Every structure is written in structure tokens, then in C-alpha cells.
Amino acid sequence: MTNVRAPRSTAAKPDAPRQEKAGGTAEATEPFGPNGTEMTDSRGGGTSVPPETSAGWLRWGWRQLTSMRTALILLFLLALGAIPGSILPQEGTDPASVQQYFASHPALAPWLNRLGLFNVFAQPWFAAIYLLLFASLVGCVVPRTFRLVGSARTPPPRAPRNLKRLPHSTTYDSALPPEAAVDSAAGILGGQRFRLRRPEAGDSGHWLSAEKGYLREAGNLLFHLSLLGVLVSIALGGLFGYKADKLLVQGNAFSDTVSALDEWHPGRLVSGSDLAPFQLTLNSFSASYITSGQNEGQPSSFQANVTYSDTPGGQAHKDVIEVNHPLSVDSVKVYLIGHGYAPVFKVTGPDGKLAYEQATPFIPANTGTMLSDGVVKAPNASLGFMGVFVPTAIDSHGTLESVFPAANFPVVSLIGYAGNLGMNSGVPQSVYQLDTTGMTKVSGSPHMMLPGQTWTLPNGKGSITFVGVQQWVSLAITYDPGQVPALIFGILALAGLLLSFFVRRRRIFVRAVPAASGAGSVVTIGGLTRTDASGGFEEEFASLAFEIASAETAASPGTTPSPAPPGTAPPGTAPPGAAAPAAVPAGHDNPEPNNQSETGA
């Protein structure tokens, strides 16, 4: 229980007499919150005319930036900007899908790339929206923090002279003298954790003010601070985190170094020396698919069996990486984000020497059937091949098609080219594309091959053998130091939002005056709340009034009956056995409370 005595007034406001004549409700009906404003939103719309001076322009611009309207616009733009990042494949998370999108949409993809829609979250325009929103929240939350500190120390307002003008009120006769009746009510409300205010020594009248529900503003502030914390956590990840991608063929290994990674997107304050020095080997990969029913061909599980060590030469550990079950090593998460087939080819040149022998990753052009495209480059033999890999092949009117994503009947179709591959020109080339500018097409193309078959090229140009099929996986390697803080702040934001929704600010006032008979007193109880959208204050007020009157009855047996419990008499009316409330003056009916007036007076 917090009992705050009202400070002695040293100077009265000019309009104080007029407020007292109106019933003394001016102070009691001020909006809930510090300094006469509620904490739900202290930011205006900023609609004032811009000033003429430079300092005035800066103040005006800051008010515009920290206004609720600007914050909502920035939130909308942030959500709008994140849409393409959720729909389109992103270079930072799935570069293989980006390549596939370019192959599937050769006309549209370059335009989307010019707009930066394949790397949305690293674009300057997205960072600008993010930083403006961050500044807007700072401008809102910091002043609000100081106001909440002031609100926590602000006592409830003085009790109005005419409590019958409040939305909820009741009156009853008490055998106790006025001071004892108010003391009894203070004991009840203090036990309910209300903050109390009593008259200062020397003040006339016997009254009590009680207020409860300060957690509403605390929840509101917690929500905004947590939202700010989420943004700080995201910024922390952007500065000190990094993302990388690695395509790894079954049986191969790699070390977490910049040169060994296919894609690397470091944070602003991250260098290559900050990478975790772990090593990882892909022992095997297995994919299971549904074999019957309406969902035939849909994946059911993906498992990558790996061996890793925290440091080079360190102790080896075995683990299984699955979708949504990443490998955690040295504060780094390794996610399984894709897979495909890597046909194994062996190429010999015109001189019969081995020029190429390795598994060649093919990129899926159709993720439903895993029909994949790829390129084989053998510069030492001046040979190149563009191919299509079909996992489960059937002949449909002379065209190879795949009817199932698993490699049940693998077939590869190759188109051969002979000549200069242009790999020594100094111009970088994609490993998934073949520049045929200086090459001639080999006759007999396209040529279909099964595992173990060899295609001997005409005119002694060499040969290519389809040895077999292996699988590859695409791994996303991420380090995000802001991930856990963002989760914590997100939970706190939800808790603050729930507090601001379900906790009500409410005030209870008690006044006692001597009875006309000279024995006992007449006690009036009034109450109001800031908002009561979920209901419940009417019942709470009736229950408190009943408890206060019952406590006085127990203290002085033989008194008139106390107010009836909730449900037997509507709040605002006199309960059975109690004196009827005094008539409300004409023109002062009891309206419902709203956001502009807490009492409707």
C-alpha cells in the first residue's frame, strides 16, 4: 500500500474558484497519465506551419519525424519493402535459387536485379527506412521514459466535491464519524494495492483518493522499449554478423574461410579473420519422397550426415543436419537450404589423356521433378558440354521428362562443343554457363546417356563418360549475435502489449460528511476509469463499495444495511437499506466516459 499525502498548495490557479463551484471535478477528471496526458501516445501529428528560422525548421522536422503518422508510414514502408525479400529468392540465403530464377525468367530477372530485389535487406533504401524508423522510435521512447518516471511519483488527484457526477457513484449512511469512515475505506483500498491520497493536515473535509493500474503505462513503455531493442538487435546482427553459402558435393569437405565459400556477405564491422575456424565434411545425403497418393513426389525428409571439427585438426564430431535443425558449431549456425544432383563425368581429349573427372553440380530447373541443367568444361581438351539431367526419365513423344524427383532411372542429355572456352581471357565466367562464342557444335548432339555409357566424339575430338550420380547440398552459414536478444525483446514487447491491453487505470474517491442528525456520517463513493473496453470496472466498483460499507458495518454493529453485492443493485444507484443518492443537478446527467472526458461532467 502506498499512502501519499497531498502537498500543501502554495498558490492557487486563477480558475480554481470556478472549478470548485463546478463540483471540484476538474483535477480528478484530468486524463490519466503524467502531466495531464496519457502515455498511450504523446506524439502529435505535427501539422503546424513550418517556421522561418533554421533552428525552427530543425525542430519542426524532428516533430514530423517523431509523429505517430510518420512512424506508421515508416512501418508500412518497412513491411512493404520486406515483401519482395520474402517472395523472391535472395542472394544472401539461396544463391542457387537466384540462378534458377534467372534461367526461368530471362527477361524479368535482370530488371528485378537492377532494383536490388534479389538482395533486398542489403539495399540502401531499405536501410534508410530502417534508420528513420529507429530515429522515430528513439524520439518517442526517450521522452516517454522521463514522463513515466514522473507518473510513478504523481499522487492521485484530489477527490471532487460532488462525487455523484462521476460515471459510477453510490451513497450510504454510516454510524462512524466522517474521519473514521474515511480511514476504514482507506484500509480496504490500501489492501487492494491502490495508491492513496489523503487531505493534508489543516485541510477541511474528510476525503480519500485512490488510483490503480499504473502497469498500463509501464506496459506501454515496455512495448516501445522492446520494439527499440528489436531494432538494436537487428542492427547488432547487421554490424557484427555474417552470412555465407557453400555448395558441397557428397564426399567433399571445406574449411570456413573466405576463399572456400561460394558467397560471403559480411557485416559492416566483420573481416575474414572473424570467421569461425571449423571444418566440415559431407559424408552422405539422403532425400525421401512420398511414393503414392495425391502428394506423390513431395519430399518427406532431407538428411545430411556430416563430420566436423571446431578447429583445424581438432576432435571430429558427427551430426545430422536437417531442415530447420541446423548444426551449431562455435556460435555459428549451419543450415541445410537446398540440394541437387551432381552427375560424375570423365572426359578425355583428342590425345586420349584424361582431361576432366569429377562430380559436376547441376542446378534444378524444376524443383518438383528435380529436372536439372548444368555445364561440363574441360579446357585441357578444348571441349565443353551443356546438359540436362533427368532423375527418373521417360520418353514423352520424343522428349525426355522426369516423373519423380528421386534418381530411379537417371539419364543425361548432352550437347557438345569444341574450341576455345574463353577461360583464359581474364573475364570471369559462371560455372553454370558455357560461352560458345569461339566454339563449334559437335555433330550428333544432343546425345542421351545412361550411367556407365561413353559418347565417343566424331573426328577424334575425344570422349565423355557418364560415370554415375552423386548429390550435393547447399549450406547457409550464419552468425547473428542479435538473434537471441531480438527473441527476448520480442517476448517483452508482447508482454508489454498485453499489459497495456488488459490493465485499466481506475480511480476511486470517498467523501464523508456529518449526518444531518448529528450522529454518524453520510459516505459517498465515486469511481471512473480511463477505458473499459473489456468491461469489468462496473462490477469491480460495486464490489469495492460493498466491501467498504461491510467493513464499516462490522466496525459498528446495528448500523443501517450496507450496499448490496454486485448484481443486486446497479452501480450509481443507492443499494437496498442505504440512503438514496442526492439528485443530480439539471443538465448534469451521468454520461458514459470517453476519451475526451473521464466523467462526462
pLDDT-based confidence at residue 21 (cuts at 50, 70, 90): very low
The DSSP-derived string for 460-476 is G--EEEEEEEEEEEEEE
Residue 97 confidence class, pLDDT cut points 50, 70, 90: confident
- Nearest C-alpha neighbor of 528 from the set 514, 512, 513, 544: 544
Instruction: Return all residues near 259 (Cβ < 8 A) that are at least 6 apart.
Output: none
Cα R_g (the chain), whole angstroms: 38
Beta strands 2-5; 195-198: pairing state: parallel
The span from the CA of 386 to the CA of 452, in Å, is: 19
Q: Where in the chain are all domains bearing CATH 3.30.310?
A: 160-213+504-601
In three-state secondary structure terms, 539 is helix
The pLDDT assigned to 532 comes to 64
| Residue 198, φ and ψ in degrees, nearest 5 | -120, 160
pLDDT digits (tens, 9 = 90+) for 138-157: 888 788 778 777 776 788 88
**Whether pLDDT at 509 is above 60:** yes
Q: What is the pLDDT of residues 532-544, one digit of tens each?
A: 656 778 888 999 9
Spatial distance between the Cα atoms of 502 and 500, rounded to a whole number of angstroms: 6
394 is written with which cell numbers? Answer: 521417360
Using CA atoms, how far residue 189 sits from 1, 329, 448, 546, 580, in Å, is 8, 56, 89, 12, 23
Report residue 26's pLDDT band, with 50, 70 and 90 as the boundaries: low
Helices 124-152 and 215-240 cross at an angle (nearest 10°) of 150
pLDDT at 55: 83
**For residue 526, is pLDDT > 90?**
yes
Q: Is 542 exposed, middle or buried (0-12, 13-18, 19+ CB in 10 A)?
A: buried
What's the pLDDT score for residue 534? 62
Residue 306 pairs in a beta bridge with: 282, 319
pLDDT attached to residue 582: 38
Res. 71: pLDDT tops 50: yes
Higher-pLDDT residue of 279, 597:
279
Share of the chain above pLDDT 70, in %: 82
561-592 tens-digit pLDDT: 444 444 444 444 444 444 433 333 333 333 33
Name the β-bridge partners of 340. Answer: 472
Q: Is the predicted pLDDT of residue 9 greater than 50, yes or no? A: no
- What is the rounded average pLDDT of the residues 308-321? 91
Following DSSP, what letter does each residue of 253-309 receive, concatenated?
A: EEESSGGG-SEEEE-TT--GGGS---EEEEEEEEEEE--SSTTTT-EEEEEEEEEEE
Q: In the predicted model, is pLDDT for residue 284 greater than 50?
A: yes
Q: Identify the weakest region by mean pLDDT among 56-70, 81-95, 577-591.
A: 577-591
What's the mean per-residue pLDDT of the chain?
81
* Whether residue 555 has pLDDT greater than 70: no
Which range of 9-13, 34-38, 514-518 scores highest in mean pLDDT? It is: 514-518
Query: Which three-class secondary structure string do you get for 181-231?
Result: HHHHHHHHHHHCCCEEEECCCCCCCEEEEEEECCHHHHHHHHHHHHHHHHH
Residue 467 has pLDDT above 90, yes or no: yes
pLDDT at residue 5, as a whole number: 41
SS3 string of 392-417?
Answer: EEEEECCEEEECCCCCCECEEEEEEE
Which secondary structure element, helix H or strand E, spans residue 540, and what is its range? helix 537-555
Q: What would the mean pLDDT of 94-111 be, rounded to a whole number?
A: 84
- Encoded amino acid at 460, one letter: G
| pLDDT for residue 428 | 76
- What stretches of 96-205 adopt beta strand conformation (E)? 168-174, 195-198
CA distance 37 to 449: 79
The CATH number that domain 160-213+504-601 falls under is: 3.30.310
Q: Would you place residue 48 in the very low, low, confident or very high pLDDT band (cuts 50, 70, 90)?
A: low
What is the rounded average pLDDT of the residues 415-443?
86
